[in-house]
């Protein structure tokens, strides 16, 4: 995701706005089948999800846990989905509640009881009634009703779009030592962590809407006033879709990938599509081929700058024109860092966000026509970071400059953004200076190839970069990630 702060923009034309996972290549992957009907009168949806879950762990499992992210939008939720500063931008018509109401759960065809955990029922536990041994599969069917809030957010409806992000029950990642990881939804960052899976979505919606979805449209049919569109998306860690009765669209191509741009107020849609094509070309050349057949870039009602999903990125309609291309380039870089190579975005957000910011700077460094060069972006990041330190030291006397901590441990949004994005890009630029341009790009290419469709931890990241560079980088990353690198602030 990409967030922007006004005080940062005083110092630089632009810099970050805001914004995922585990299985190795030889593991079998789970599949999801989602059937959903959207009711635009009540802003609700009736849905049914079938998950064929494969136990890829070494342990026998007696239950499966799911995230129910829409319940973070409910009245009972502990904390808001946005900060106080963003409340009006998120809820322009006043506070509005949403959620997911689970009605039935069955395991291998037999109805079962289920339990909720955490505040506002954001975790669903499904007891299996038997032990699921390693490599065995269980079929879990969940019926539910979604209520969308009137909110300019990942999940919600606004004036122009209906956003279905993080809308369905998704299995929590299972780690051998920790069990199911059930970290909550928080307003900072992208609090997500999931595994690669295969998806089928069948979405029904009123005829006057157009759908942008993260997958290949394999079938569309009309039934009275409703259209039903079926999408397939394989080897992705999430799916999302956006509906609008105002969408126009353009289509372009990057190698074998169709790029669709959906928009309603963009004054230069061809320019935005061209940026998306150039970004996909550049990252494919730099890091490794984009492995999917389509990508949707979608203008949306969204409180932050943008948001990444596999094969679909949201770009906020509230962005000022000068930032639009930057956010498109940033969110598309996430297709590599988070999309294909995943990580626990709740506990190790630096892994995808810092690398995405660095990749974005490389993109603009190679595309002079945008009037931004690489050094300008790095200089801007340095100025912004020093300004952040100065202001925060005045307010708090001490500033926590560590990057390696969970989203919940960042006390404010500026603390999160400046440490993860801004400090992160400076860290990668410093590494680039140490290793040289050729070597860092070669490592990133190997990193993408080696960890594709997996989740990477900080430990794995540091070990891989050390091995490939032929240099022990443990101290380097430790000093940056744990806040030991000091900036001189005048
Ligand atoms: Zn991001």
Query: How many structural domains does the chain have?
Result: 1
Residue 307 CA to ligand 1 centre (angstroms): 7
Residue 166 forms part of a structural domain: yes
Residue 221 has pLDDT above 60, yes or no: yes
Q: How far apart are CA 115 and CA 13, in angstroms?
A: 49
Residue 66 forms part of a structural domain: yes
Residue 325 CA to ligand 1 centre (angstroms): 14
**Can you give the pTM of this predicted structure?**
0.94
Predicted confidence (pLDDT) per residue in 471-487, tens digit: 999 999 999 999 888 88
Residue 51 forms part of a structural domain: yes
What is the overall mean pLDDT for the chain?
Answer: 94
Residue 193 forms part of a structural domain: yes
Residues of the chain above pLDDT 90, percent: 89
User: Domain range holding 117?
Assistant: 30-235
Is residue 427 within 8 A of residue 440, CB to CB? The reply is no
Predicted confidence (pLDDT) per residue in 342-393, tens digit: 999 999 999 999 999 999 999 999 999 999 999 999 999 999 999 999 999 8
CATH of the domain at 54: 2.60.40.1730
Residue 322 has pLDDT above 60, yes or no: yes
Cβ atoms within 10 A of the Cβ of 193, count? Answer: 25
- Average of pLDDT values for 60-70? 98
Residue 117 forms part of a structural domain: yes
| Predicted local distance difference test score (pLDDT) of residue 79 | 82
Residue 190 forms part of a structural domain: yes
Residue 22 has pLDDT above 60, yes or no: no
Predicted confidence (pLDDT) per residue in 239-263, tens digit: 999 999 999 999 999 999 999 999 9
- Average of pLDDT values for 300-309? 97
Residues lining ion ligand 1 (Cβ < 5 A) are: 1-2, 19, 353, 356
Residue 280 CA to ligand 1 centre (angstroms): 16
* Cα dihedral across residues 138, 144, 149, 151: positive or negative: positive
Residue 8 has pLDDT above 50, yes or no: no
For 343-388, give the DSSP string: --TTT-THHHHHHHHHHHHHHHHT-GGGS--HHHHHHHHHHHHHHH
- Average of pLDDT values for 67-89? 93
Residue 143 CA to ligand 1 centre (angstroms): 32
Residue 401 forms part of a structural domain: no
Closest CA to 109 of 81, 128, 132, 83: 128
Q: How far, in Å, are 140, 156, 353, 458 from residue 478 at the CA level?
A: 42, 39, 17, 10
Predicted confidence (pLDDT) per residue in 404-449, tens digit: 999 999 999 999 999 999 999 999 999 999 999 999 999 999 999 9
| Predicted local distance difference test score (pLDDT) of residue 483 | 87
Residue 404 forms part of a structural domain: no
Residue 58 CA to ligand 1 centre (angstroms): 33
Q: How far, in Å, are 151, 156, 349 from residue 96 at the CA level?
A: 7, 9, 28
| Predicted local distance difference test score (pLDDT) of residue 10 | 36
Residue 32 CA to ligand 1 centre (angstroms): 26
């Amino acid at each position: 995701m990409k967030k922007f702060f006004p005080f940062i923009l005083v110092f630089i034309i632009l810099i970050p706005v805001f914004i995922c996972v585990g299985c190795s290549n030889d593991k079998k992957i789970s599949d999801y089948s989602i059937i959903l009907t959207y009711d635009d009168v009540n802003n609700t949806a009736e849905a049914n999800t079938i998950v064929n879950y494969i136990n890829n762990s070494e342990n026998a499992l007696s239950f499966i846990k799911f995230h129910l992210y829409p319940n973070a939008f409910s009245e009972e939720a502990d904390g808001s989905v946005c900060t106080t500063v963003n409340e009006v931008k998120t809820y322009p018509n006043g506070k509005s509640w949403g959620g997911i109401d689970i009605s039935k759960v069955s395991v291998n065809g037999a109805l079962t009881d289920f339990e909720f955990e955490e505040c506002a029922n954001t975790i669903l536990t499904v007891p299996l009634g038997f032990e699921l041994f390693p490599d065995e599969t269980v079929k879990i069917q969940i019926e539910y009703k979604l209520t969308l809030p009137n909110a300019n957010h990942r999940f919600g409806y606004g004036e122009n779009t209906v956003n279905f992000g993080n809308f369905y029950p998704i299995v929590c990642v299972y780690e051998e030592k920790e069990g199911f990881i059930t970290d909550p939804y928080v307003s900072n960052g992208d609090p997500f962590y999931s595994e690669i899976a295969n998806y089928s979505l069948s979405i029904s919606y009123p005829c006057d809407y157009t759908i942008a979805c993260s997958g290949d449209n394999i079938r569309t049919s009309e039934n009275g006033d409703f259209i039903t569109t079926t999408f397939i998306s394989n080897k992705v860690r999430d799916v999302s879709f956006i509906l609008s009765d105002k969408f126009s669209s353009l289509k372009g191509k990057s190698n074998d990938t169709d790029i669709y741009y959906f928009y309603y107020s963009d004054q230069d849609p061809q320019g935005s599509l061209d940026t998306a094509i150039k970004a996909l070309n550049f990252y494919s050349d730099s890091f490794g081929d984009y492995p999917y057949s389509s990508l949707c870039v979608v203008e949306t009602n969204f409180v932050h700058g943008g948001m990444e999903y596999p094969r679909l990125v949201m770009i906020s309609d509230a962005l000022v024109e000068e930032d639009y291309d930057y956010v498109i380039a940033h969110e598309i870089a996430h297709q590599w860092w988070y999309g294909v190579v995943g990580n626990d975005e709740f506990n190790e957000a630096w892994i995808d966000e810092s690398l995405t910011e660095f990749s974005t700077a490389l993109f603009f460094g190679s595309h002079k026509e945008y009037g931004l060069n690489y050094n300008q972006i790095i200089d801007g990041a340095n100025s912004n970071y020093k300004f952040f330190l100065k202001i925060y030291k005045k307010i708090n006397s001490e500033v926590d400059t560590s990057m390696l901590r969970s989203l919940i441990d960042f006390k404010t949004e500026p603390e999160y953004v400046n440490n993860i994005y801004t400090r992160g890009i400076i860290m990668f630029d410093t590494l680039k200076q140490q290793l040289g341009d050729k070597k860092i790009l070669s490592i990133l290419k190997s990193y993408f190839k080696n960890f594709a469709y997996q989740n990477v931890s900080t430990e794995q990241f540091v070990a891989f970069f050390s091995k490939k560079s032929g240099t022990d980088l443990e101290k380097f990353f430790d000093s940056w990630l744990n806040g030991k690198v000091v900036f001189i602030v005048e």
